[in-house]
C-alpha cells in the first residue's frame, strides 16, 4: 500500500516539474503581453472573420486607409496621408503614404487598396465581413502607386470610416476561392504594428512586433491572445499572472479584483447601448403591417408613458451596480461629438405616466389593469435574451414598474437567435435590444430608417420599426453633409426625433470593465484618452502603446532542460518501484491457487 | 470426439449463429442506428427557429442579393428533400458540410478537436475506473464499515455536485491557490504557447494542463463505477465458490482478488463502455470551464450561434460514439461472459 502511494506521489511530482525547475531569466529582455480573449477567433481571413476577437487581430495586422485617433475618435490618416473630394462629392482621391512596407519587404501601394476593395465589390465571398463599406462604390482605381480614386454612386459622408482591412495584392491575387482560404500560412503577410506568427485554433494567437512598421516598432516584442471561454477563469489567470490583460469582466468580477496587489482596474465607457424596443406597429418596406405588436403601442402617448414609468437610474444602480450611465440619446457618451442628451428628459414619474395613459383613453379596470377602448386588458409581452442575466433583472424591474401604472407584463425569455428573428419579424410588444455603436454614427442611425425595414422577401435590418419622414430626412441629410459641425447638428436632431417618437427606450450605457497587471505593464493607450478602454478599440493603440516594466522585460521562463532531467529521474524512480512491487508479487505466486 | 462436435453444433444453432452472425447482427444494428442518427440530425436542427442565412450575417446590413448568394453557396435555396439527399450523399463521402461561423469544412474542425477530447475523456475515464473499482471493491468487502460509509457518501456527494461549480472550485483551489496551497496548475487551455517544440516539454506541458480538467471529471464520474462494483461484488459475496476458495486455505486478499472480483467485474465493464460514449458529450461543461479545445467546446459554440452544419456534424459524431461503444460493449460481453455465448 505504501508503495502505491509512493508511485502516486512520484507521478504528481513529475507533473509539477516545470514549476519546481530552476527558473532562468529569458535572454534579450523581451516583453510579452498576454491578453485573455473571451471570444473565439472565427477566421484569420480578413474577408470572412467578423467576431470581435478577429477584428481586433486584423486591426493589428492589416492597414486601413484611415483610422480613429486614440484621443477622441477623430479620423486620423493611416495608410492614406491625405485626401480630397470632387465638388459633386462623388469622387474621392486618397494619397497613399510612401515607404510603407509589407512584412515580406514589398511596398504597400494604392494598387493593394484598389485590389482589396475591388475584390469586395465583385467577389461575393470577399464581401462577407465588410461588404457594407463598398455597397455604394461605383468604381475603384489606382492610376499610380500612390493615388487611389474611389467613385461612389451617391454622396457619402462615411468615406473616411472605411473600416475594412487592406490586404497585399501579391498574396491574395493567388487566392481563387476566398471562402475556402484559411490564411493560416505563418507568418501572415501584413503591414500593421504586429505580425501574426503562430496560431492554435481555440487556444492562442501569437504576434511579434513588426520592425518595419511605419510609426516605428512597438515597445513590446510579442503580443499573445489567449482564449478563455470562461471569464471567471480569465480573472483567475490574471490574478496568477498567466495573462496580463483581462476584458469583458462582470461587475462582480471587477469588484473582486479591487484589493488585488499588482492588478489595475480599468473602467471605460462602453460603445454599447442597451434599449427596450416598444413596437410602434411594425411594417415591411412595402408598408404592409407585419408581426404581432399590441395595437395600443401605436399611440405615441402610450409609448412615452411606458418610457416614463421606468426608473433608469435604479437599473444602473441595481443591474450594473453603478458601472454605467443612464440612457437617453441613441449614441453612447463615449462618442462625445455625436452623443445627445434630451433637453427635457422624461424623468421617472409614475404619476405623470398614469395621467398620460388616462388621457390616452386607457382606463383601469376593477383589477387595476388598464383596458383598451375595446375593453381588452392591456397585457404586453416583454421578450428577453434567456442567456443574459442582465435581461432577466431588467425584466423583473420593468414588470413591477409597469404594473404600478396598470400595464400587465409577461416576461418571455427566449434564445438569442429567437430575439433576432422575432424582432425582425415584428413579433413582439416590448423587447430587449442593443447595438455597439461605431465612431461614425451612420451605421446605428440607419437602423431606424424606413429603408431598414424588412423587405417582403426577407433582408433588411430593422431595430424599433420607426418609419418617420422627419427622421429619414434628417438621416439622409447627415449622410450627405460634409461639414462636421453641421453633420453633428443633424445627427443630434435625428436622435431628438427618435426620442420624441419613443419607439424604443434607451435604458443605459454599460461601462466596459477591464483589468491588467500593473507590475508588468503601464502606459496603455486608452481610447478615448478620458475614460477609455484598452481592448476592442477602433485601432491598434492599446497594445501598440503598452509600456513594459523592468519586471516584464526580465520575465522568468521555465527552464525545460532541468525539467527534462527531473522528469527522467522521476521515470527511473517510478520504474524501480514498479519492478519492486512485481517482484514481491512473484515471490508469493505459489500461494495463489 | 464426434459426440462433442455434434453437441457444439447444436448449441450454435440454439444461440442463433456463431461469432460471424453475432458480429454481423451487432454491426448491422449499429449502422442502422448511425443512419437514423444522421436523419434525425438533419431534421432536428432544421426545426430550430431562425433563418440560417440571417444567422450567418448576424444582423449586418446586407443586401437581398448578398443573402441570395449566401443561400446558393450553402444550398439553402434548394427544397428540403433535395438538401437532405445532398446531405446524405456528402455524408457517405465523409463530407459534413461547411461551418457558417468558421467558413471551414466541419469534418476538419471536428478532426482538430477530436483528439483533445479523447485525451481528456480517456484519461479521466481510466482514472475514474481505477479509482471506482478499487474503492468499490474495498467498500463491498468491508461493507457496513466506516470506510464503506465514508467512501460511498463522498462519491455520491461529488456525483451530485454541479460539474460547472465543482470545476470552478477546483480551478480556484489548485489553479490559483488558496491559503497555504500554491497555484500549481494552469487555469485554462491545453498548452502554453511558449513551450519549446521538443517532445518532452510539449508532453509535460499538455500533462500539466490536463490535470485540473481530468481531476474534475474523475471526481464527478468515479462514483458510478464505485457503486456498480460495490453492489455486484456484494452479490457475489455469499457465493459457494468463495467458501471453496477459502477452504483451500487461500488468503482473504487472494480470495477477493482472484475469485470474487473477476466475477463481479462483468456488469462494470459493460457500464464503462456504455458510458464512454456518453462521457464525450459530458465533457462539454468541463471543456467550457477550462477552455479545453475539444468537441464539447465546439458543440457549445455551435449551439450558441447556432451553426447548423457544425451542430449536425458534432451531433453525428457524439451519437456515433455512443453507438460504437454500445456495439463494443455487446461484443466484449460475449467474450467475457460464456453465458451470453450459450444463451
DSSP β-bridge partners for residue A91: A151
Over 60: is that where the pLDDT of A17 sits? no
More confident site: A151 or B240: A151
- Please state whether beta strands A204-209 and A222-227 pair in parallel, antiparallel, or not at all (unpaired): antiparallel
Give me the half-sphere count of Cα atoms (radius 13 Å) on the Cβ side of residue A491. Answer: 30
Per-residue pLDDT tens digits for B256-293: 777 788 777 877 777 787 777 777 666 788 888 888 88
Q: Do A455 and B195 touch (CB under 8 A)?
A: no
Give the C-alpha separation, B205 to B201, whole Å.
6
Share of chain A above pLDDT 70, in %: 90
Burial zone of A334 (CB within 10 Å; 0-12 exposed, 13-18 middle, 19+ buried): buried
| pLDDT reading at B1 higher than 80 | no
- CB B187 to CB A202 under 8 A? no
pLDDT above 60 for A286 = yes
- Domain ranges (residues) in chain A: 10-40+202-269+515-554, 63-172, 272-510
Considering the domain boundaries, does residue B333 fall inside one?
yes
- Give the residue numbers spanning the domain of B265: 110-342
Residue A482 near residue A89 (C-beta atoms within 8 A): yes
Give yes or no for A505 touching B (CB within 8 A). Answer: no
C-alpha cell at A586: 512473484
Residue B76: inside a domain: no
Nearest-neighbour CA in chain B from A364: distance (Å): 37
Contact A31, A553 (CB under 8 A): yes
Cell of A397: 424591474
**Which one of A156, A237, A588, A593 would you mutate to disrupt binding with B, by most B Cβ within 10 Å of its Cβ?**
A237
Average pLDDT over residues B131-141: 88
Q: What is the pLDDT of residue A23?
A: 40
Instruction: Give me the CATH code for the A10-40+202-269+515-554 domain, please.
Output: 3.40.190.10
Contacts of A420 (CB under 8 A, 6+ apart): B50, B54, B59
Band (B13; pLDDT cuts 50, 70, 90): very low
Q: Name the percent of chain B lying above pLDDT 90.
A: 1
**Partners of residue A377 on adjacent β-strands:** A371
pLDDT at A168 over 90: yes
**Cβ within 8 Å of B, A 107-136:** 124-125, 127-128, 131-132, 135
What is the dihedral angle through the alpha carbons of A310, A311, A313, A317, rounded to the nearest 10 degrees?
Answer: -100
What pLDDT shows up at residue B51?
Answer: 67
The CA distance from A76 to the nearest CA of chain B, in Å, is: 25
How far apart, in whole angstroms, are the C-alpha atoms of residue A335 and residue A270? Answer: 10
- Please, what is the average pLDDT of chain B? 79
Tell me, what's the pLDDT at A13?
58
Confidence at residue A10, expressed as pLDDT on a 0 to 100 scale: 58
Report the candidate in A172, B54, B56, A289 with the shortest Cα–Cα distance to residue A297.
Answer: A289
User: Do A310 and A505 form a contact (C-beta atoms < 8 A)?
Assistant: yes
pLDDT of B2 reads 40
pLDDT at B18 over 80: no
Q: Which residues pair with A523 in a beta bridge?
A: none
- Chain B contacts in chain A segment 228-257 (CB below 8 A): 228-230, 232-234, 236-237, 239-240, 242
Cell 450611465, located at residue: A325
Residues of A in contact with B174 (CB under 8 A): none
A283-292, A338-347, A554-563, range with the lowest pLDDT: A554-563
Q: Which of A7, A16, A36, A42 to mutate to test the interface with B (most CBs of B within 10 A)?
A: A42
Phi, psi of A129 (to 5 degrees): -90, -40
Does the distance separating the beta carbons of B168 and A592 come in below 8 Å?
no
Greatest distance between any 2 Cα atoms in chain B: 87
B14 pLDDT exceeds 50? no
Which residue in A40, A234, A420 is closest to B59 by CB distance? A420
Do residue B51 and residue A421 have CB atoms under 8 angstroms apart?
Answer: yes
The answer to whether the Cβ–Cβ distance between A592 and B49 falls below 8 Å is no
Alpha-helix residue ranges (DSSP H) falling in A46-109: 52-61
pLDDT beyond 80 at A235: yes
Cell of B23: 458480429
- Is A240–B175 a contact, with Cβ atoms under 8 angstroms apart? yes
Q: What pLDDT was estimated at residue A15?
A: 59
- Please say whether the beta carbons of A148 and A94 come within 8 A: yes
Q: Which residue has the higher pLDDT, A373 or B72?
A: A373
- Rounded distance between C-alpha atoms, residue B4 and residue A555, angstroms: 77
Which residues 185-224 on chain A approach chain B with CB closer than 8 angstroms? 198, 200-204, 206, 224
Nearest to A201 among B64, B67, B112 (CB): B112
Architecture of domain A63-172: Alpha-Beta Complex (3.90)
Is the residue at B16 inside a domain? no
The Cα A211–Cα A191 span in angstroms is 10
Residue in chain A nearest B252 by alpha carbon: A592
CATH number of the domain located at residue range(s) A272-510 in this protein: 3.10.105.10
Residue B336 scores a pLDDT above 80: no
Rounded Cα distance between A297 and A303, Å, is: 6
Please compute the mean of the pLDDT values over residues A293-315 and round it to a whole number.
Answer: 93
User: Within a 13 Å sphere around the CA of A330, how many CA atoms are in the beta-carbon half?
Assistant: 28
* Separation of alpha carbons A78 and A72, rounded Å: 16
Within 8 A of B306 by CB-CB distance, chain A residues are 417
Nearest to A233 among B60, B248, B290 (CB): B290
CB distance B208–A461 less than 8 Å?
A: no
Distance from CA of A231 to the nearest CA of B (A): 9
Q: What is the mean pLDDT of residues A272-281?
A: 92
Interface of B with A in 272-291 (CB under 8 A): 287-291
Place of cell 502606459: A523
Indicate if ipTM > 0.85: no
Q: Are B286 and B213 in contact (CB under 8 A)?
A: yes
Where is pLDDT greater, at A281 or A30?
A281
- Contact status of A483 with chain B (Cβ, < 8 Å): no
Question: Measured on CA atoms in the order A445, A451, A455, A458, is the torsion positive or negative?
Answer: negative
**Helix or strand or coil: residue A436?**
strand
Given a cut of 50, whether residue A21 has pLDDT beyond it is no
Helix, strand, coil shares, percent, chain B, to 5: 75, 0, 20
Mean pLDDT of A93-117: 93
Binning pLDDT at 50, 70 and 90, where does residue B4 land?
very low
pLDDT at A182: 87
Residue A362: name the closest of A375, A376, A372 by CA: A372
The 3-state DSSP class for residue B151 equals helix
Q: What does pLDDT average to over chain A?
A: 86
Residue A32 in this model has a pLDDT that exceeds 80 = yes
CA distance A581 to chain B (A): 16
Q: What are phi and psi of A507, to 5 degrees?
A: -80, -50
What whole-number distance in Å separates Cα of residue A242 and Cα of residue B192?
A: 10
CA distance A192 to B100: 28
Select from B138, B164, B198, B291 the residue whose CB has the most chain A CBs within 10 Å, as the one to mutate to test that interface. B291
- Give the residue among A295, A317, A270, A178 at the shortest CA–CA distance from A509: A270
Minimal CA separation from A421 to chain B, in Å: 6
Rounded distance between C-alpha atoms, residue A457 and residue A260, angstroms:
55
Model-level pTM? Answer: 0.79
Q: What pLDDT was estimated at residue A547?
A: 87
Beta-carbon separation of B204 and A15 below 8 A: yes
Residue B257: HSE in the Cβ half-sphere, 13 Å Cα cutoff: 10
**Chain B CA closest to residue A197:** B193
pLDDT value at residue B8: 43
Number of other CB atoms surrounding residue A584 within 10 Å: 10
DSSP assignment letter at B143: T
Q: How confident is the model at residue A18 (pLDDT cuts 50, 70, 90)?
A: low
- Does residue B90 lie in a domain region? no
Sign of the torsion angle spanned by Cα atoms A311, A313, A315, A318: negative
Q: Does the bond joining A187 to the residue before it have cis omega, within 30 degrees of 0? A: yes
Is residue B46 within 8 angstroms of chain A, CB to CB? Answer: no
Q: How confident is the model at residue B341 (pLDDT cuts 50, 70, 90)?
A: low
CA nearest A179 in B: which residue? B103
Q: How many structural domains compose chain B?
A: 1
Whether residues A417 and B60 touch (CB distance < 8 A) is answered with no
Angle of CA points A337, A477, A344, to nearest 5°: 50
What is the pLDDT at residue A453?
Answer: 87
Q: What DSSP string describes A291-344?
A: S---GGGGSHHHHHHHHHT--HHHHHHHTSTT-EEE--SSS-TTSTTT----SS
Q: What is the pLDDT of residues B174-192, one digit of tens each?
A: 877 777 777 778 888 888 7
8 A C-beta contact, residue A514 and residue A534: yes
Q: Is the pLDDT of residue A466 over 60?
A: yes
Find, in chain A, the residue whose alpha carbon is nearest to that of B204: A15
Residues 6+ apart with CB under 8 A from A567: A14, A17, B200, B204
Q: Which residue of B has its CA nearest to A229?
A: B291
Strand partners, A32: A222
Q: Which residues of B touch A229 (CB under 8 A)?
A: 188, 287-289, 291, 297, 300
Confidence of residue B245 (pLDDT cuts 50, 70, 90): confident
A202 with B69: Cβ contact below 8 A: no
**DSSP single-letter state for residue B271:** H
Strand partners, A385: A414
Cell numbers linked to A250: 462582470
Q: Kindly list the residues from chain A whose CB atom is less than 8 angstroms away from the CB atom of residue B104.
A: 43, 182
B200: closest CA of chain A, how far (Å): 7
Which pLDDT does position B59 carry in this prediction? Answer: 54
* C-alpha to C-alpha distance for B93 and A295, rounded to whole angstroms: 53
Cell readout for B82 is 433535395
> Half-sphere exposure (CA, 13 Å, Cβ side) for B120?
33
DSSP per-residue letters across B97-127: -B-TTT-SBHHHHHHHHHHHHHHHHHHHHHH
User: Which residues, other chains included, contact B56 with Cβ-Cβ below 8 Å and sequence gap of 6+?
Assistant: B70, B74, B100
Helix axes A300-308, A350-359, angle to 10 degrees: 170
CATH number at residue B281: 1.10.3720.10
CA distance A446 to chain B (A): 9
The model's pLDDT over A116-155, given as tens digits with 9 standing for 90+, comes to 999 998 887 888 778 778 888 899 999 999 999 999 998 8
Please state whether A73 falls in left (phi above 0), alpha (psi between -120 and 50) or beta.
left
Amino acid at each position: 500500500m505504501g508503495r502505491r502511494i509512493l508511485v502516486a506521489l512520484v507521478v504528481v511530482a513529475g507533473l509539477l516539474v516545470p514549476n519546481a525547475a530552476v527558473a532562468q531569466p529569458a535572454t534579450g529582455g523581451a516583453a510579452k503581453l498576454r491578453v485573455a480573449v473571451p471570444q473565439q477567433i472565427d477566421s484569420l481571413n480578413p474577408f470572412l472573420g467578423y467576431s470581435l476577437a478577429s477584428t481586433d487581430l486584423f486591426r493589428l495586422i492589416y492597414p486601413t486607409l484611415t483610422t480613429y485617433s486614440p484621443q477622441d475618435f477623430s479620423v486620423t490618416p493611416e495608410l492614406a496621408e491625405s485626401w480630397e473630394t470632387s465638388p459633386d462629392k462623388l469622387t474621392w482621391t486618397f494619397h497613399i503614404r510612401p515607404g510603407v512596407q509589407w512584412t515580406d519587404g514589398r511596398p504597400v501601394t494604392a494598387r493593394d487598396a484598389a485590389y482589396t476593395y475591388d475584390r469586395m465589390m465583385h467577389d461575393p465571398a470577399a464581401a462577407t465581413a465588410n461588404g457594407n463599406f463598398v455597397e455604394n462604390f461605383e468604381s475603384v482605381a489606382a492610376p499610380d502607386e500612390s493615388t487611389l480614386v474611389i467613385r461612389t454612386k451617391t454622396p457619402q459622408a462615411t468615406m473616411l470610416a472605411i473600416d475594412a482591412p487592406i490586404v497585399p495584392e501579391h498574396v491574395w491575387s493567388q487566392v481563387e476561392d476566398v471562402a475556402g482560404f484559411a490564411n493560416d500560412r505563418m507568418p501572415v503577410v501584413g503591414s500593421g504594428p504586429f505580425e501574426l506568427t503562430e496560431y492554435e485554433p481555440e487556444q492562442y494567437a501569437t504576434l511579434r512586433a513588426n520592425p518595419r512598421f511605419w510609426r516605428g516598432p512597438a515597445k513590446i516584442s510579442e503580443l499573445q491572445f489567449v482564449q478563455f471561454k470562461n471569464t471567471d477563469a480569465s480573472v483567475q489567470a490574471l490574478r496568477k499572472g498567466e495573462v496580463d490583460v483581462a476584458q469583458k469582466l462582470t461587475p462582480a468580477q471587477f469588484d473582486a479584483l479591487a484589493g488585488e496587489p499588482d492588478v489595475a482596474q480599468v473602467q471605460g465607457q462602453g460603445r454599447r447601448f442597451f434599449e427596450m424596443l416598444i413596437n410602434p406597429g411594425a411594417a415591411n418596406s412595402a408598408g404592409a403591417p407585419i408581426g404581432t405588436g399590441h395595437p395600443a403601442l401605436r399611440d405615441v402617448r402610450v409609448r412615452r408613458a411606458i418610457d416614463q414609468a421606468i426608473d433608469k437610474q435604479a437599473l444602473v444602480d441595481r443591474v450594473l451596480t453603478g458601472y454605467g450611465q443612464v440612457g437617453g440619446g441613441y449614441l453612447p457618451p463615449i462618442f462625445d461629438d455625436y452623443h445627445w442628451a434630451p433637453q427635457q428628459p422624461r424623468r421617472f414619474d409614475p404619476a405623470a405616466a398614469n395621467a398620460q395613459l388616462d388621457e390616452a383613453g386607457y382606463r383601469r379596470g376593477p383589477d387595476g389593469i388598464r383596458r383598451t377602448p375595446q375593453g381588452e386588458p392591456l397585457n404586453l409581452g416583454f421578450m428577453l435574451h434567456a442567456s443574459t442575466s442582465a435581461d432577466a433583472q431588467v425584466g423583473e424591474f420593468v414588470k413591477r414598474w409597469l404594473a404600478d401604472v396598470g400595464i400587465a407584463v409577461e416576461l418571455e425569455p427566449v434564445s438569442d437567435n429567437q430575439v433576432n428573428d422575432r424582432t425582425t419579424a415584428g413579433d413582439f410588444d416590448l423587447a430587449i435590444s442593443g447595438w455597439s455603436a461605431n465612431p461614425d454614427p451612420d451605421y446605428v442611425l440607419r437602423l431606424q430608417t424606413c429603408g431598414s425595414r424588412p423587405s417582403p422577401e426577407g433582408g433588411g435590418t430593422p431595430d424599433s420599426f420607426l418609419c418617420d419622414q422627419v427622421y429619414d430626412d434628417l438621416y439622409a441629410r447627415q449622410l450627405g453633409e460634409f461639414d462636421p459641425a453641421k453633420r453633428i447638428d443633424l445627427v443630434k436632431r435625428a436622435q431628438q426625433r427618435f426620442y420624441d417618437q419613443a419607439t424604443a427606450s434607451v435604458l443605459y450605457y454599460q461601462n466596459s470593465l477591464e483589468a491588467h497587471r500593473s507590475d508588468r505593464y503601464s502606459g496603455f493607450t486608452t481610447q478615448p484618452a478620458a475614460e477609455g478602454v484598452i481592448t476592442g478599440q477602433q485601432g491598434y493603440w492599446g497594445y501598440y502603446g503598452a509600456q513594459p516594466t523592468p519586471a516584464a522585460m526580465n520575465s522568468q521562463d521555465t527552464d525545460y532542460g532541468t525539467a527534462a532531467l527531473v522528469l527522467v529521474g522521476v521515470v527511473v524512480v517510478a520504474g524501480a518501484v514498479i519492478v519492486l512491487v512485481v517482484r514481491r508479487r512473484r515471490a508469493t505466486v505459489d500461494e495463489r491457487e | 470426439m464426434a459426440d462433442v462436435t455434434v453437441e457444439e453444433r447444436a448449441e450454435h444453432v440454439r444461440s442463433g449463429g456463431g461469432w460471424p452472425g453475432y458480429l454481423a447482427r451487432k454491426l448491422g444494428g449499429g449502422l442502422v442506428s448511425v443512419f437514423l442518427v444522421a436523419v434525425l440530425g438533419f431534421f432536428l436542427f432544421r426545426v430550430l427557429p431562425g433563418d440560417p442565412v440571417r444567422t450567418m450575417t448576424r444582423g449586418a446590413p446586407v443586401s437581398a442579393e448578398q443573402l441570395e448568394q449566401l443561400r446558393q453557396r450553402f444550398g439553402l435555396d434548394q427544397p428540403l428533400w433535395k438538401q437532405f439527399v445532398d446531405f446524405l450523399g456528402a455524408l457517405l463521402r465523409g463530407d459534413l458540410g461547411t461551418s457558417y461561423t468558421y467558413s471551414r469544412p466541419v469534418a476538419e474542425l471536428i478532426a482538430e478537436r477530436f483528439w483533445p477530447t479523447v485525451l481528456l475523456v480517456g484519461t479521466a475515464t481510466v482514472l475514474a475506473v481505477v479509482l471506482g473499482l478499487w474503492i468499490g471493491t474495498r467498500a463491498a468487502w468491508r461493507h457496513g464499515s466506516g470506510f464503506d460509509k465514508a467512501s460511498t457518501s463522498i462519491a455520491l456527494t461529488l456525483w451530485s455536485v454541479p460539474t460547472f461549480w465543482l470545476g470552478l472550485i477546483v480551478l480556484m483551489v489548485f489553479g490559483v491557490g488558496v491559503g497555504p496551497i500554491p497555484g500549481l496548475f494552469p487555469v485554462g487551455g491545453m498548452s502554453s504557447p511558449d513551450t519549446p517544440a521538443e517532445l518532452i516539454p510539449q508532453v509535460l506541458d499538455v500533462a500539466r494542463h490536463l490535470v485540473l480538467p481530468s481531476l474534475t471529471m474523475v471526481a464527478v464520474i468515479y462514483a458510478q463505477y464505485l457503486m456498480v462494483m460495490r453492489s455486484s461484488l456484494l452479490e457475489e459475496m455469499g457465493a459457494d465458490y468463495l467458501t471453496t476458495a477459502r477452504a483451500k486455505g487461500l488468503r482473504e486478499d487472494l480470495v477477493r482478488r482472484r475469485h470474487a472480483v473477476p466475477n463481479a467485474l462483468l456488469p462494470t465493464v459493460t457500464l464503462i463502455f456504455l458510458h464512454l460514449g456518453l462521457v464525450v458529450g459530458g465533457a462539454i461543461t468541463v471543456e467550457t470551464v477550462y477552455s479545453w479545445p475539444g468537441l464539447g467546446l465546439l458543440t457549445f459554440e455551435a449551439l450558441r450561434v447556432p451553426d447548423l452544419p457544425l451542430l449536425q456534424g458534432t451531433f453525428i459524431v457524439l451519437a456515433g460514439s455512443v453507438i460504437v461503444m454500445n456495439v463494443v460493449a455487446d461484443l466484449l460481453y460475449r467474450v467475457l461472459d460464456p453465458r451470453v455465448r450459450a444463451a
